[in-house]
Structure 1
């Protein structure tokens, strides 16, 4: 647990240009202090504006030269919240400069980049973590129940991971002859409500953007590598996904090396599809029983007069996920303990997602290498 009497780690924020939950979580923990924001000088104006705004909010400097920031600010850790396509480049530069890293999800849409980063950090002896939700109360309870033998030996697992959020105009609502929706423009627009996880010039489907969350759940529960996968994907809800030829809905069936079978259904299914944030559940079947875990629990419902239509009515409580993740990172730095989602594991999840996309494109089972 957090010990304010121990060293406070100095943190450099690299390119905080999307939702800021990651650097905010770092700043909220007593063992970590944000020292500066940095990015490359030749980035577009909108990235500099967002970086400067975040730096001003925290009363820290913004440096438009990443290598200069490495030299001048004497930091221990780099926190990376850039476009996903830049995650690994910034992370590898930080590791080469001797910094531990915390990277926003997904690690990268490029599996080879993930592999290169995984090998580099292993050689360096530094610590690296990818942001995750493995310490949500429901996930902690699920792992505890399994460890205590509540349902016997695990045989099968299924995860529903649906976000009831919009992503621009619904499919086929644009007028005939309208130009295709530009991916980056749409993501910049989405920044207003924090749903810009896919920001960047490279379009990404929901499986690539969000798939690491449920696959990290399954990895933490099953403690076994994935062996093979069969998948199908669709573009069912959002015109931006249609125009950019990326999925907003996917289904995976898989087998783990320990014999556990599983499946995942994932998608961004539109605000009208669900009264809450979406259906996010784990179904676990064992030799002695079964367990259904709702990720959102515990939660309370909040309803009042003139409540905004877009405000979620249910509020999660007793959720210390972000604090516990940073606790785990501090323990890893202090004592060398394991991380809840290290770079190697995140790289393996990137391989699963890549294999699933190959399976969906080619209509066949794919062995995960």
Structure 2
């Protein structure tokens, strides 16, 4: 009902708890030969380091090569992670020992490079957002389906243990009828952050704060609350010297009749304050907070006192690459078992559509209906 053919939440929980690699070790012990999947990273950005570190901790994955148009940067990554490097996209896509490419370039390049990778027969794991327009997202999705390759999108917060626990409660019907939910991102990205790269804060290559920072939490809100019927929002540039918004607010009506509230900013002084997901139903309340969804702040269900005692107030201490490791493990499992990744292109398109509707509403001053 909820997963539409994708891996279900209980399987995700099992993958997170035991790791796909443990199953592969068991297969090897039984004499089943499991060949490593070769990975290539396109774009040696700051986020690419999480991909590289995650790959280094997965037994059945090998980072074969990285690519960046800046040769010094590509060489630095190659030396740090023990692989080869390229400065041209066609060269890394031409490697027959690379089965999966991780696209970590500026957002405006995701669809174009993903389509080229699909045409080269590579499975694709692309950083969020999947694209900057619905048209380019659809073109990428279509190319992957035509070429028979997997398309996964990095929405790693879906793999956080508290989030999976809450999603399991949702799928079991413990919330009853959902009434409303809230996504809050109160972060800091100072001017120095935007000035570090000329694409940041631009409409053409960055897209905006909602697409580049708050997208993870908005993805979770619609994952829990369901399809969006309409949205009314405001987005503006209040503090930073950039083309795109640094503050946005919106109200959402979901197909179910439930409501949603969105508040997001990268202007919070002097540092990240909190990221919070709140889900409310007639028989359930869950709030996950902390600076990056690292702590359960409320867990209320009938008969759930023992769970609440164990969960509330417990903070997570996870490696910085943890979420990306789980996303990559899911991609490996999807390739091995010929299934859709947990967050494929069509799933990632949903939050893209929501965010673009907020932008349109802010521009026109009108409610935007998605259905």
Q: Which TM-score band applies after superposition, normalised by the shorter structure?
A: 0.7 to 0.9
User: In the alignment, is residue 135 of structure 1 matched against residue 176 of structure 2?
Assistant: no
Secondary structure in structure 2 of the residue aligned to 1:152: coil
Secondary structure in structure 1 of the residue aligned to 2:128: coil
Query: Structure 1 pair 287/23, CA: closer, same or farther in 2 (3 Å)?
Result: same
- Given that residues 18 and 197 in structure 1 are in contact (C-alpha distance below 8 angstroms), is that contact kept between their aligned partners in structure 2? no
- Given that residues 200 and 206 in structure 2 are in contact (C-alpha distance below 8 angstroms), is that contact kept between their aligned partners in structure 1? no
- Given that residues 22 and 104 in structure 1 are in contact (C-alpha distance below 8 angstroms), is that contact kept between their aligned partners in structure 2? no
- Given that residues 40 and 63 in structure 2 are in contact (C-alpha distance below 8 angstroms), is that contact kept between their aligned partners in structure 1? yes
TM-score, structure 2 as length reference: 0.78
Q: Distance in 2 between matches of 1:200 and 1:230?
A: 21
Query: Structure 1 pair 255/122, CA: closer, same or farther in 2 (3 Å)?
Result: farther
Which residue number corresponds to residue 66 of structure 2? 37
- Given that residues 83 and 199 in structure 1 are in contact (C-alpha distance below 8 angstroms), is that contact kept between their aligned partners in structure 2? no
Which residue number corresponds to residue 116 of structure 1? 139
Q: Deviations over 1:201-245 (max 9, x none)?
A: 7453211212320122123323x322221110122232x23xx2x
Q: Distance in 2 between matches of 1:359 and 1:77?
A: 37
Which residue number corresponds to residue 70 of structure 1? 93
Secondary structure in structure 2 of the residue aligned to 1:16: coil
Which residue number corresponds to residue 9 of structure 2? none
Q: Where do 5+ consecutive residues of structure 2 fail to align?
A: 1-19, 29-33, 298-313
User: In the alignment, is residue 293 of structure 1 matched against residue 288 of structure 2?
Assistant: yes
Query: Structure 1 pair 206/92, CA: closer, same or farther in 2 (3 Å)?
Result: same
Map 1:5-24 onto structure 2 (within 5 A). Answer: 5=28, 6-20=34-48, 21-24=50-53
Map 1:222-261 onto structure 2 (within 5 A). Answer: 222=225, 224-238=226-240, 240-241=241-242, 244=243, 246-261=244-259
Q: Deviations over 1:46-92 (max 9, x none)?
A: x3322221112122221233223322342100111111111111111
Which residue number corresponds to residue 84 of structure 1? 107
What's the C-alpha RMSD, in Å, of the aligned pairs? 2.7
Query: Structure 1 pair 9/367, CA: closer, same or farther in 2 (3 Å)?
Result: same
Q: Distance in 1 between matches of 2:105 and 2:121?
A: 20
Aligned counterpart for 2:273 among listed residues 270, 275, 278:
278
Q: Where do 5+ consecutive residues of structure 1 fail to align?
A: 170-182, 190-195, 300-313
Q: Distance in 2 between matches of 1:74 and 1:24?
A: 20
Which residue number corresponds to residue 149 of structure 2? 126
User: In the alignment, is residue 187 of structure 1 matched against residue 210 of structure 2?
Assistant: no
Q: Distance in 1 between matches of 2:203 and 2:357?
A: 22
Instruction: Tell me how far 1:335 sits from its aligned partner.
Output: 1.3
User: In the alignment, is residue 214 of structure 1 matched against residue 220 of structure 2?
Assistant: no
The worse-fitting range, judged by mean Cα deviation, of 281-290 and 351-360 is 281-290
Query: Structure 1 pair 233/52, CA: closer, same or farther in 2 (3 Å)?
Result: same
- Given that residues 186 and 268 in structure 2 are in contact (C-alpha distance below 8 angstroms), is that contact kept between their aligned partners in structure 1? no
Q: Distance in 2 between matches of 1:83 and 1:70?
A: 18
User: In the alignment, is residue 160 of structure 1 matched against residue 184 of structure 2?
Assistant: yes
Query: Structure 1 pair 236/15, CA: closer, same or farther in 2 (3 Å)?
Result: same
Instruction: Tell me how far 1:337 sits from its aligned partner.
Output: 3.6
Aligned counterpart for 1:147 among listed residues 171, 192, 208:
171
- Given that residues 39 and 63 in structure 2 are in contact (C-alpha distance below 8 angstroms), is that contact kept between their aligned partners in structure 1? yes
Which residue number corresponds to residue 335 of structure 1? 337
Query: Structure 1 pair 149/255, CA: closer, same or farther in 2 (3 Å)?
Result: same
Q: Distance in 1 between matches of 2:191 and 2:61?
A: 34
Secondary structure in structure 1 of the residue aligned to 2:115: helix
Secondary structure in structure 1 of the residue aligned to 2:180: strand
Instruction: Tell me how far 1:198 sits from its aligned partner.
Output: 5.5
